[in-house]
Structure 1
């Protein structure tokens, strides 16, 4: 998830440098959404992934 967020952020930066404002804004929006989803999934996995572990 973070990989795709970084890719969209790079695409947004390159598009902004080349003057494509619409594509840059859209890519930046996707990058923000993917980043938020990735952080939420990471936190949920951290909180609920820790179970009771018993040693044998």
Structure 2
């Protein structure tokens, strides 16, 4: 489950970067970034800080 969250976070960050630099879609792009950061934090908290 944690690897799935990590993959989702990476995809969302890539989507945010592409949207920010290419499309400038505004609030939606920043919402994707926030969701990606939350997924990364959940992954780190659930794994106890150990690397996967």
- In the superposition, the TM-score normalised over structure 2's length comes to 0.76
Distance in 1 of aligned mates of 2:17 and 2:26: 10
Alpha carbons 1:5, 1:30 under 8 Å: kept: yes
Structure 2 gaps of 5+ residues are: none
Deviations 1:1-54 (A, max 9, x none): 11111011011111111111212100000001000000011117x6xxxxxxxx
1:13 and 2:17 correspond: yes
Q: Provide the aligned length of Structure 1 versus Structure 2.
A: 45
Considering only CA atoms, is the larger Rg found in Structure 1 or Structure 2?
A: 1
Distance in 1 of aligned mates of 2:15 and 2:7: 12
1:22 and 2:27 correspond: yes
- In the superposition, the TM-score normalised over structure 1's length comes to 0.71
